[in-house]
Chains A and B, each alone.
Chain A
Amino acid sequence: MTDNPILTLDNVTKSFGPVTVIKGVTVNVYPGKVQVLLGENGAGKSTLIKMMAGVHQPDGGRILVDGEKVRLADTNASEALGIATIHQELNLVGSMTVAENICMGRFPRRFGLVDRRTMRNTAKAALDRIGLHIDVDHKVGELGIARQQLVEIAKALSLEARMLILDEPTAALTKREITALFAVVEDLRSRGVGMVFISHHLDEIAAIGNSVSVLRDGEFVAEVPADTSEDELVRLMVGRSIEQQFPRRRDYDGPADTLLEVNGLSTKGLINDVSFSVKAGEIVGLAGLMGAGRTEVLRAIAGVDPYVNGTVHVRGKELPKSSIGAAIRAGVGHVPEDRKAHGLVLGAPVNENIGYATLAATAKSGLVDRRGQRKRAQDVADKLRIRMQNLDQPVGSLSGGNQQKTVFARWIVTNSSVLLLDEPTRGVDVGAKVEIYELMNAITAAGGAVVMVSSELPEVLGMSDRILVMSGGHISGELAGGDVTQDAVMMLAVRDVQRDLEDKLMEDGHE
C-alpha cells in the first residue's frame, strides 16, 4: 500500500546516564499493518515503545506523526494523537466493572452524577467493535487475563486510538486465547489500525505480522518481511561473535565433587521435572526466554518458594523444602533477580546489608558481634572494591554495580560454596560487569559452584562451562560450553514443547 505512516521514529537515540540503549533506530508504523519488533531481552524494544507512548523522550532523532514532527512529552500527549499501549501488566481496576474501566477518567455525567446508562452504552459499543460479548457490569478482576486484555483493547479503541502497541500480549495466553486475540488483530488491521507487536514466540510473527524490525544491542539490524524463516530471524537477532569481554578462567584443580544436585524439581505450574548437578569449580548457565522458569528454579533451590516434587542436595545432604535458613547454612547463596526489591534493604547501611546472613551465626548469647561484623564487612568490601564513602552509607545511594557487589559480599562473608546468580549483571555498567565476572572466577577457583541465570546470551556463552536451556518450565537441552553458538541456544529456548501442557494447566486453573 502507498499509505503514509501513522508514526515514524526517525533515527532516534536514547541514553540513560552513560549507557546508550538506543542508537539511531528508525521504525515506521503504517495504518492497517502490524510492525513486529524483534530482539533479545535488553535489545531496546521496550525503550522504543516507551518513546512511542511518550514515557521516554528521545535524546536524538525525531518522532513524526502523520509526517509532522511532534514531541510526546507524556502518555497523555501520545494518547491525544491516537496512540495507545496495551502493556503486559494491564491498566485496569479489578474491583470495578467492565463499563467503569472502559470509561475510566471520562465518566459520562448527568446532573453531576455518573450517568450509568450512557456509560454502559459506550462500553457496549466499544466491546462490539472487537466482537467481544461480555456483561459490562461484570467486575474486571473476575475475567480471565485474555478477556481483560481485550477489554483494554476495547478501551483504547473507544479513545479513538488508531495505533496500538501490543507489548507481549500473548505471553500469558493459552493457544486458544491467542487465536481469538489474533482474530481481533486481523479485524483491526482490515479497519486500518496500525499496530506494533512484540513477542518472543517466533511462530507468531509469520501468523500475525507484516514486517519485522530486528534490533540488537539498541541498534537497528534489518527490516525483513514477516514470512522470513525462523532460522534467519534468530541469526539476525543474535548474530555476532562473542567478544573477549568474558574473562572466564578455570583455575580450580581440586577434586570435582558434586556440590549441588537437583532431582525432578517441580513447582505448581511453573517448573516441571528439572534435574541437573553442578560440580566444584564449575559455572552452569541457565539460559532461556523470560518466563521459561529459570528464576523459579533458583528460588526453589534457595528455599524461597515451595516445590511440589523433587529433591535438592548440597554436598550430598538433602535440603528441607522452602527453608531459606537451612539452605544458607548448607552453603547456598542467592543473588536475586531484582536487587532493589529482593536483595537489599536500601535505606540500611552497607555494613548491615553485607552482614544479614552472618548476624545470628556470629552472635554471642543473642548480642551482635558488632566489631567482628564490621571488620568482616570492611575486608570483603575492600576485596570486592565496593566504591563507597564508608560502611555506614545507605546502600541505596551506591551505583548499581556497587549495590550488586554488596549482595555478593553478603554470601562471600557467609562462605557460601553454591552461588545462585539471577541476572548478576543486570543494570550494571561495563566496568563493573567485568569485575563481577572476575568475582565468579574467584568463587570457582576457590572450589565453589555457580549457577547463573542470564538473559544476555553472550554472557551465558562466555562464562558458562555448561549451558542448560529452559523452555516452558523444563530443561529443553544441555550444551557443553566452548563451541556453542547463540543460534543453538535460541533454537532450544524457543522450542515450544510445553505449550500444549501449559494450555492444559491454564485451562484447569481458569475453569
Chain B
Amino acid sequence: MNKVATATAPKKAAGVSPVRKFLADNGALVGLFVLGLALFIATPDFLTGPNLLNIGIQASVIAVLAFGLTFVIVAAGIDLSVGSVAALSAMGSAWIFSQASLPGWLAVVGGLLIGTLSGAVSGFAVAYGRLPSFIATLAMLSVARGLTLVISDGRPIPTAPEVSFLGGDLGVLPMPIVVLVIAGTVAALILNFTVMGRYMYAVGGNTEAARLSGVPVRRVLVTVFALSGLFAALAGLLLSGRLDSAQPQAAAGYELDAIAAVVIGGASLAGGVGRISGTLVGALVLVVIRNGLNLLNVSSFWQQVVIGVVIAVAVGIDSLRRKNAPH
C-alpha cells in the first residue's frame, strides 16, 4: 500500500496548480487574511494606523519568543522555559544596571548573555545528559523563575535607559516592531543559510540519519537551546523596556503562546518542519484574535476559549492535510 502511494505521489504533485500549492502551504497566512477581512467588516476600529501598530507591539514579545522556539521545534525538541528565561534575563539586566550600577549597554549584553547561558544549560542537559527536552526545560522553567524571584526579592527593578529604549519609539515606528523585524530576519537567515540551520532540519527530520552523515548532533542540540535562550532574553528586554522595569512575574505562561504560534505557523512537533515566516504569521493570528475580540468587547474569559479552539482547529487542519499529502 505504501509503495503504491509513493509511486503515484509525483504525478499528484505535478497536477496541483502553483496557486493551490501556495494556499495549501500557507494555510495560516490565509487564515490571518480571512481573520483581518472579517474584523475589517465587523468594526471600523480594526484597520486603523494606531491599532495596527498596537498589534505589532503586542505581537513583538510573543513572536520573538516563538522565533527562538522555532529552532528548537525544528530540531524535534521543545522549550518550555522561554517565558521564565525571558523574565530572568530581564531581571538580571535590570539588576546589573540598578543594583550593580554598571553601564546600560552592559545591562543589555548581560541580559542577552544570561538568556543564552540558560538555554545552553538546557541544551547540555538534553544533548549530553540525555534528558528529554520536555523535562530539561520544565526544570529550567522552575529554576529560572526561582532565580528571578531570588534576584529581585519579589519586587520590580527599574531597567537601564538602553533597555527602555527598546520599548520606546524610533521616529514613527515603535522599537518593538523594529526589533521584531530584525530578530525575524536574523532567525530566518540562520535557519535557511547557515550550516547550523540546515543541520537543525536534518536532526529534527531523522536524528540517526543525520548522525551517520556526520552531523554533530549534540552540538546542534546545544546550539538550538542556546539560541532559544538568546531570543527569549531579547523578548524579556522588550517586555521590561516597555514597562521601564523588570517584573518578577513577567512573561509567565508565555511559553504556551509561543508554542501555539510555532505550531499554528505550520511547524511539526515531530521535528524537521517549520519556518520563521510561518511562526510570525502564527504569532500575528494569536494577537489579531485577541485584539479583534477586544474591539468587539468580548470578555477576556471567552477569549481564552476562542484561542484554544483556534489552536486545535489550525493544527488539526494541518495534520489532516499532511496525512493526505504524499509522505
Q: List, in ascending order, chain A residues with CB within 8 A of B206's CB.
A: 341, 344-346
Q: Given contacts A17-B3, A347-B272, A399-B6, is CB(A363)–CB(B195) below 8 Å? A: yes
Q: Mark B172-197 against chain A: 1 for CB-CB distance below 8 A, else 0.
A: 00000000000000000000011111
Q: Given contacts A368-B193, A389-B14, is CB(A397)–CB(B327) below 8 Å? A: yes
Please measure, in the bound complex, the distance between the C-alpha atom of A344 and the C-alpha atom of B215, giving whole angstroms. 13
- Cβ of B324 < 8 Å from any Cβ of A? no
- B327 pairs with A341, CB closer than 8 A: no
- Cβ of B213 < 8 Å from any Cβ of A? yes
Q: List, in ascending order, chain B residues with CB within 8 A of A348's CB.
A: 201-202, 205, 272
Q: List, in ascending order, chain B residues with CB within 8 A of A342's CB.
A: 208-209, 212
Please measure, in the bound complex, the distance between the C-alpha atom of A484 and the C-alpha atom of B52, giving whole angstroms. 79
- Cβ of A100 < 8 Å from any Cβ of B? no
Q: List, in ascending order, chain B residues with CB within 8 A of A334's CB.
A: 212
Contact segment of A207-215, A354-362, A449-457: A354-362
We find that the number of chain A residues with CB closer than 8 angstroms to chain B is 36
- A345 pairs with B210, CB closer than 8 A: yes
Please measure, in the bound complex, the distance between the C-alpha atom of A398 and the C-alpha atom of B326, giving whole angstroms. 11
- Cβ of A310 < 8 Å from any Cβ of B? no
Q: List, in ascending order, chain A residues with CB within 8 A of B10's CB.
A: 388-389, 393, 397
- Cβ of B100 < 8 Å from any Cβ of A? no
Please measure, in the bound complex, the distance between the C-alpha atom of A446 and the C-alpha atom of B169, giving whole angstroms. 64
Q: Given contacts A363-B195, A370-B193, A397-B6, is CB(A325)–CB(B212) below 8 Å? A: no
Assign chain B's interface to a size class: 20 to 34
- B198 pairs with A304, CB closer than 8 A: no
Kindly report which residue of chain A lies nearest to residue B201, judged by CB atoms: A348
Residues from 266 to 302 in B contacting A, C-beta threshold 8 Å: 272-273
Kindly report which residue of chain A lies nearest to residue B270, judged by CB atoms: A347
Q: Given contacts A344-B206, A389-B13, A389-B14, is CB(A399)–CB(B7) below 8 Å? A: yes
Please measure, in the bound complex, the distance between the C-alpha atom of A360 and the C-alpha atom of B197, giving whole angstroms. 11
Q: List, in ascending order, chain B residues with CB within 8 A of A79's CB.
A: none
- Cβ of B46 < 8 Å from any Cβ of A? no
- Cβ of A264 < 8 Å from any Cβ of B? no
Kindly report which residue of chain A lies nearest to residue B272, judged by CB atoms: A347
- A345 pairs with B199, CB closer than 8 A: no
Q: List, in ascending order, chain A residues with CB within 8 A of B4's CB.
A: 17
Q: Mark A386-402 against chain B: 1 for CB-CB distance below 8 A, else 0.
A: 00110001101111000
- Cβ of A343 < 8 Å from any Cβ of B? yes
**5 A-B pairs whose Cβ atoms sit less than 8 Å apart in the complex:** A17-B7, A352-B201, A356-B213, A368-B194, A398-B6
- Known: A17-B7, A347-B273; 16 extra A-B contacts, CB below 8 A, are A17-B3, A324-B212, A325-B216, A336-B212, A343-B212, A344-B206, A345-B201, A347-B205, A352-B198, A356-B214, A360-B214, A363-B194, A366-B196, A389-B10, A389-B13, A397-B326
User: Interface residues, chain B, CB within 8 Å of chain A?
Assistant: 3-4, 6-7, 9-10, 13-14, 193-199, 201-202, 205-206, 208-216, 272-273, 326-327
